[in-house]
């Protein structure tokens, strides 16, 4: 196996240590010629990086300018130990630099979290009390709508195959849809948002959609807060106390202390915990290290990001 000249690139060296544990960093030191110091946006110009061939990174990856890429003439591949790459991918791809992401690894805990909430929502667990004994239809034959068709949505679909549920998928690109957002909000008992973080997805989930939901229905958001018209949602949830919103992501995180999001009883907030946390972070590193080994052996990589992938998810 060829040992490529490697470096870590990240806004915070501590984030590298959080995502790549000591055992994984030792493994990379053995299978690459790893630069000792983490390269950050602040110290990038302090180094001669002309010999570096591969980058390992995670959240906090630099979005290279053309001038910075020109200073990396031998860069062949970036191995990104996290999920979405939209913020920095295109300058790399434009210059023929391969990009690997752990998006499939990061999809696993989000999908597990989502499925747990879907199953509980089918019983109306989040609103059921001895004072309010309204229970949902249960997990037999009901409809779940997944908004978005990317890796997380695909993993949720896979996990839900174990249950007798009708799963409707609404792709993020309107031209690929066979059913509209408006229709699934009216018909599904649980709607779960997994839209990618793109400008054309901002506030596409409107207050009117929430107001149209079925009696007792639940909305789950592990995608992005910006995809929801929060003011419209809050007003709808006030009008419809029978509904439930389970929000792991928000426009502003955390919300301001006086935010209505804290005050509406049928809106439940969690602190962005659906994605990879703690020990789950090491799964992402394992994915990119495994693809680096394939790359170094001249084999096809399993988690490569392409322009087509960016356009279709």
Span 167-193, mean pLDDT? Answer: 96
- Across 24-33, 129-138, 160-169, 234-243, least confident range: 129-138
Q: What is the CATH number of domain 106-269?
A: 3.40.50.720
Q: What is the pLDDT of residue 199?
A: 87
DSSP symbol at 99: E
Question: What tokens appear for 312 in the block?
Answer: 């279709």
Name the E strands within 171-252.
190-193, 218-221, 244-247
pLDDT class for 164, splitting at 50, 70, 90? very high
At 94 the three-state DSSP class reads helix
Q: Which tens digits make up the pLDDT trace of 112-143?
A: 999 999 999 999 999 999 998 999 999 999 99
Question: Residue 85, CB half-sphere, CA atoms under 13 Å: how many?
Answer: 30
Q: What is the mean pLDDT of the chain?
A: 95
Q: What is the pLDDT of residue 311?
A: 62
Residue 266: which residues within 8 A CB-CB, separation 6 or more?
127, 237, 240, 241, 242, 243, 244, 245
Backbone angles phi, psi at 34, to 5 degrees: -85, 130
> Above 60 in pLDDT, residue 38?
yes
CA angle, 22 then 289 then 305, to 5°: 135
Q: What is the CATH number of domain 5-104+278-312?
A: 3.40.50.720
At 123 the three-state DSSP class reads coil
Quick one: 18 exposed, middle or buried, by C-beta within 10 A (0-12, 13-18, 19+)? Answer: middle
Cβ atoms of 245 and 268 within 8 Å: the answer is yes
> Above 70 in pLDDT, residue 301?
yes
Q: How far apart are CA 68 and CA 63, in angstroms?
A: 9
Question: What tokens appear for 242 in the block?
Answer: 């029978």
At 253 the three-state DSSP class reads coil
Q: What is the pLDDT of residue 45?
A: 96
Instruction: Work out the percent of the chain whose per-residue pLDDT is above 70.
Output: 99
Q: Where in the chain is the domain with CATH 3.40.50.720?
A: 5-104+278-312, 106-269
């Amino acid at each position: 196996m060829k040992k490529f000249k490697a470096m870590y690139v990240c806004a915070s060296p501590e984030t590298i240590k959080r995502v790549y544990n000591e055992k994984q960093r030792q493994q990379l030191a053995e299978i690459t010629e790893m630069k000792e110091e983490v390269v950050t946006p602040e110290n990038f110009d302090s180094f001669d990086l002309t010999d570096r061939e591969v980058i390992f990174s995670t959240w906090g990856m630099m979005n290279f300018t053309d001038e910075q890429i020109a200073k990396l003439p031998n860069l062949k591949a970036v191995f990104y130990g996290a999920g979405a790459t939209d913020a920095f991918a295109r300058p790399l791809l434009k210059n023929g630099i391969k990009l690997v992401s752990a998006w499939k690894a990061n999809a696993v805990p989000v999908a597990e979290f989502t499925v747990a909430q879907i199953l509980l929502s089918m019983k109306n667990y989040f609103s059921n009390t001895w004072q309010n004994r309204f229970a949902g239809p249960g997990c037999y034959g009901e409809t779940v709508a997944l908004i978005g068709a990317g890796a997380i949505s695909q993993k949720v679909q896979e996990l839900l195959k174990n249950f007798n549920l009708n799963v409707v998928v609404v792709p993020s690109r309107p031209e690929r849809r066979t059913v509209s957002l408006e229709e699934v909000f009216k018909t599904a008992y649980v709607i779960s948002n997994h839209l990618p973080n793109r400008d054309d997805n901002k506030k596409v989930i409107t207050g009117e959609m929430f107001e149209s939901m079925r009696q007792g229905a639940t909305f789950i958001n592990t995608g992005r807060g910006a995809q929801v018209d929060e003011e419209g949602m809050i007003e709808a949830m006030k009008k419809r106390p029978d509904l439930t919103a389970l929000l792991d992501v928000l426009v502003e995180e955390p919300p301001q202390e006086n935010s209505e999001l804290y005050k509406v009883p049928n809106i439940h907030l969690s602190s962005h915990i659906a994605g990879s946390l703690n020990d789950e972070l090491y799964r992402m590193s394992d994915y990119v290290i495994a693809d680096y080994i394939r790359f170094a052996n001249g084999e096809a990589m399993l988690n490569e990001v392409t322009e087509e992938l960016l356009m279709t998810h």
